[in-house]
Structure 1
């Protein structure tokens, strides 16, 4: 009776001791980090952001939406300076009260080439501590021969975006003798900016099937791993897949042609009279003419990019006419689904089909005779939403317009009595020049003035609904819309802003401790931030320990910017050829503006860039017409009457 109890207790003790080893959960997929990441399924799950970081990014989005003309960098600096729940209100209040003092020329210019759907791009957001640490480790691993303070300062300038900061680090490393010597002894190749295939983070590994695949090493941060995979690995894999599909397609077509010729199952094209298998042919819907896909492709290209639109395309059916050359003049057409199948075998067939659909839609819109509003940046058009038949339009008269109407009649009557003959002769000349009766002319101008009045009441902001464009524009001046929008504002203002922004970005430095941006105007290259951080303006190294010992101590006159011939240390008075850097940034901004505007700068425009002064045309008003001494035009007169009388 005793032994069973002992055995039972012994077994229970043994099971109790062994239970922790048995019940330990198996490591999950998130905990297992592969040595190389080659597939998206291997990427670890990105954890949710911390509450404080999430709140900072929400504040950043709110400020970017309210102040779209200010760079995101300004908001990051200000939000980092305040703490607590009221920092959003404090930053917004500070910008509203003293915008110029906070912005310091860092204005944001809308890109004319396209617009992003995100208010704040991913690279401009606040980054987590884990992300920053992983980026620093990655940069220190690649640029081991450079000072850590230099690497950290460059990362701070680029908001810890490794791929953007790497270009600056490569440029600095090429000038660093310490980094060159370190690479020489280690046998490493000097880093270079190039395509993703030659990027140092991309490791090409064998798949075991006679091919290699691009991979990256995990960095320890899920967010950074996904960013590097999407930027470096995903484009390479997509390109490889497209090339493989093209090769497979070519091989399949070659085998199919050989089998069709051996079996005698080829057909002759009624357009080019070449033979081919049945899978590469289509036919018209009336007489059944066999047309090869190559002729269909050539005909659609000639219709879109040549002179064959009227002879090749049937706008009513929205497809290609029969292009058989048997002399009968077949009135049939190629079915739309066959045309699409033929064009999809072309390398850029989907784009050509999209252009064909746009051309057909444009033809149908013009044929409808409806009033249209168009996007100035693409081919998108829609029916004007303020259009209504004239019999349904009844403008409402202002309740307080009687005195204004009496004053307007007296003013116009005085002008007419003062200059009756000039006005009569002007009207007669206008009527004779347009070849219409006086009543028809006034009625047409009245309708146009009413349309302009409705447009002003509705607003000039137009939103393009095309998924490829999606930009905002002004219906009056046809320029890009930015709140607050001023019509007919000279594009030179945008050019001057771009030049100032490019020049400031070229020479600015960022403190890696407090992320404060600054530019050296004069003095030596030992800079001290208000937070106490000391750095070298040339190489961005931390000078908290070295101080002035970091710079060359050989005898030289004060203010001599020339490099020392006896050592490779930084010069205390070196200016890093600021004039050349600023001139290059200015020329690049001017070149972008000229390419977008497709014209050169005139003498007056160059003077505006130097002085900042430009004349503006005065707005047309009743007081302006009377004080200017000139006669108002009929459209101007109708505009003033309608704005005075109607709501």
Structure 2
């Protein structure tokens, strides 16, 4: 079973039919919805505040936060499983001790990647990873049982929900995939023309029920589930995006109507103005003038000029970098040297569909130009456009390294030993060659640059490599040296292959794992038949996840027709699960591996080299450790020039 592809997949409920037309959603008209259906939620004011979790759930979630802070590189589901397995007394200390002494026994490839793109850096445990209350679980089970009634057994639904920690919107895609393969769905789709729905359109989502208001408009609603937390999740994921989109559409329609009315009135009064750029007529509210000559320019020309400057080839020609103004685009015999003010630019861009985004891009390019023009050395956030002046380059705060006096006697002793040793001749030859090369200015400049860079890296390590972005939309921490996300304990210049291997192992593990709905233990079938027995005693089918621990189930759940042992083909005489049916594990793992590698390529913006591919295949970097001098050197490789310079600086300076 592949991991869920998100919250786009859906399955049409037999209890509701979405409208084929795109309905008019209006928050102002939603209050006119008939009061005869109070169980349908259409407004945020109807949502109840989330109830306080029971003390045991609060304690579990607090322990979850503590463990996530202690072991930030381990997935939260590992802590959740261990907390559910141990008794309440001293379980936090027991789990911490086990993870410190033998992490491989519990983690098994379930580690987090170093770079969490798109995740909230301030949140250790997300809402979908936290422990759920019994009320929330009952509401999720009831919702799934209602939607997939007659298609999946309750035990199969419980098993899938357990795999996703009862996050219903995440588990729906797997439930849809399982239900579409059953013989019940095949019969119902043939007799009742029931179609599988995997719609990405919010209007046709089966959990949304369209209700008619008194004014004839259609209002999207969701049926109350009995859990205030689940109601709020469904409302935020399904209803609010529809309302926000309709709000934007309504504003665009209102503005277009206002411009149309003003244009008709201005044409009737002969109060139109001619644009000196495109020579079209415009109303007074849709024009601006340049600061000196007073050329009239319509907002359409302003919008076109700004868009071309930001995304096209008009940056140098159209933008005044010092003030951020737009050079006058009026067509005249002599080019106008005046500008259109930034205030009028923002006013013109308000009517553009993506006007705020274009203005933001314009401000970024102006800020970038100002930073480059200043000539100051900058430190940049690798995850956004934020930059600040590097304080190490400011004379007031720069601290030059001092000679390490305590190391001078040691260096002198080492030098005398080298002179008296059999290696003295090669050393003298190297020293003479270095002295001769030092007469060359280019060589001296090269050595000076290398040593200067080593001194700067040394100062950087003394100051600290952690860089905290101050952009409110980012707020992520990174390493100044290697530009990777900062994770304690940070190893600078650590190969990104570790992150790739972690992502691949995680994706392959998630693709074939199952979760026991009784004790929440994760496991993977490596061999044997499809009758799985959890250590807690729960028995389930690996194919459909149904509970087969009842006396009437067991092996009777599987096909009883004669077949050779290990034959995984589908039976032609019945539709029961095959005891020996095996998923194409190699194909599933290959697909998961390819998806993880593709995400890594997009984040790293490069391809794997042959040596890196060999590293991933054998698990160790033997390709660089078994050659020549690498056997005698620490780390198994010849040090680079930068590493030699760093060693010299660290040995001589403090």
Same fold (TM over 0.5): yes
Aligned to 1:530: 535
Contact kept, 8 Å, 1:143 with 1:179, in 2: the verdict is no
TM-score normalised by the chain length of structure 2: 0.86
- Residue 432 (1) aligns with residue 437 (2): no
Aligned to 2:124: 119
CA spacing shift, 1:541–1:425, aligned 2, 3 Å: same
CA shift at 1:189, angstroms?
5.0
Contact kept, 8 Å, 1:144 with 1:179, in 2: the verdict is no
Instruction: Summarize the alignment of residues 145-294 of structure 1 with structure 2, pairs less than 5 Å apart.
Output: 145=150, 146-181=152-187, 189-294=195-300
CA shift at 1:217, angstroms?
0.5
CA spacing shift, 1:630–1:390, aligned 2, 3 Å: farther
Aligned to 1:7: none
CA shift at 1:472, angstroms?
2.5
- Residue 467 (1) aligns with residue 472 (2): yes
Q: Quick one: which of 33, 49, 54 aligns to 1:50?
A: 54
- Residue 373 (1) aligns with residue 379 (2): yes
Aligned to 1:597: 604
- Residue 97 (1) aligns with residue 101 (2): yes
CA shift at 1:227, angstroms?
0.3
Distance 1:520 1:407 in 2: 63
Aligned to 1:63: 67
Aligned to 1:364: 370
CA shift at 1:182, angstroms?
5.9
Aligned to 2:361: 355
Aligned to 2:344: 338
CA shift at 1:238, angstroms?
1.0
SS at match of 2:478: strand
SS at match of 2:368: helix
CA shift at 1:398, angstroms?
4.4
Contact kept, 8 Å, 1:416 with 1:423, in 2: the verdict is no
Contact kept, 8 Å, 1:551 with 1:571, in 2: the verdict is yes
Aligned to 1:28: none
Distance 1:391 1:140 in 2: 66
Distance 2:493 2:318 in 1: 42
List gaps (5 residues or longer) in structure 2: 1-35, 626-631
CA RMSD of the aligned region, Å? 2.9
Task: Output one character per residue of 1:125-182: Cα deviation in whole Å (capped at 9) or x when no partner.
Answer: 1100000000000000111111110000000001001111111011000111134446
CA shift at 1:605, angstroms?
2.8
Moved more, 400-409 or 321-330: 400-409
Instruction: Summarize the alignment of residues 465-544 of structure 1 with structure 2, pairs less than 5 Å apart.
Output: 465-544=470-549
Task: Output one character per residue of 1:176-217: Cα deviation in whole Å (capped at 9) or x when no partner.
Answer: 113444677777654545432222210001122232011001
Task: Output one character per residue of 1:415-462: Cα deviation in whole Å (capped at 9) or x when no partner.
Answer: 752323422344345x236xxxx5x77665554433221101122222
TM-score normalised by the chain length of structure 1: 0.87
Aligned to 2:312: 306
SS at match of 2:392: coil
Distance 1:535 1:523 in 2: 14
- Residue 584 (1) aligns with residue 591 (2): yes
CA spacing shift, 1:47–1:410, aligned 2, 3 Å: farther
Distance 1:629 1:121 in 2: 41
Task: Output one character per residue of 1:320-343: Cα deviation in whole Å (capped at 9) or x when no partner.
Answer: 122222233333221221111111
Moved more, 77-86 or 64-73: 77-86
Contact kept, 8 Å, 1:114 with 1:471, in 2: the verdict is no
CA shift at 1:103, angstroms?
0.4
CA spacing shift, 1:410–1:467, aligned 2, 3 Å: farther
Moved more, 322-331 or 239-248: 322-331
Distance 2:430 2:114 in 1: 49
Distance 1:264 1:322 in 2: 26
CA spacing shift, 1:564–1:39, aligned 2, 3 Å: same
Aligned to 1:571: 578
Task: Output one character per residue of 1:265-322: Cα deviation in whole Å (capped at 9) or x when no partner.
Answer: 1111222222111101111222222211111111112222222222211121122122
Distance 1:333 1:366 in 2: 23
CA shift at 1:114, angstroms?
2.4
- Bigger relative CO (Cα 8 Å, ≥ 6 apart): 2
Q: Quick one: which of 35, 41, 46 aligns to 2:45?
A: 41
Contact kept, 8 Å, 2:402 with 2:653, in 1: the verdict is yes
Task: Output one character per residue of 1:393-420: Cα deviation in whole Å (capped at 9) or x when no partner.
Answer: 3435546334344346658986752323
Task: Output one character per residue of 1:573-613: Cα deviation in whole Å (capped at 9) or x when no partner.
Answer: 11122222222222222232333334443433332222112
Moved more, 98-107 or 418-427: 418-427
CA spacing shift, 1:384–1:285, aligned 2, 3 Å: same
Contact kept, 8 Å, 2:615 with 2:622, in 1: the verdict is no
Aligned to 1:25: none
Moved more, 158-167 or 207-216: 207-216
Distance 2:452 2:258 in 1: 64
CA spacing shift, 1:489–1:392, aligned 2, 3 Å: closer
Instruction: Summarize the alignment of residues 388-407 of structure 1 with structure 2, pairs less than 5 Å apart.
Output: 388-389=394-395, 393-398=399-404, 400-407=406-413
Contact kept, 8 Å, 1:496 with 1:609, in 2: the verdict is yes
- Residue 610 (1) aligns with residue 620 (2): no
Distance 1:627 1:410 in 2: 28
SS at match of 2:384: coil
Distance 2:177 2:522 in 1: 20
Distance 2:554 2:484 in 1: 52
CA spacing shift, 1:629–1:102, aligned 2, 3 Å: closer
Distance 1:502 1:285 in 2: 59
Contact kept, 8 Å, 1:38 with 1:216, in 2: the verdict is yes
Task: Output one character per residue of 1:474-494: Cα deviation in whole Å (capped at 9) or x when no partner.
Answer: 211222332333333332222
Q: Quick one: which of 558, 578, 584 aligns to 2:565?
A: 558
Contact kept, 8 Å, 2:39 with 2:223, in 1: the verdict is yes
Greater Rg by CA:
1
Distance 1:523 1:324 in 2: 79
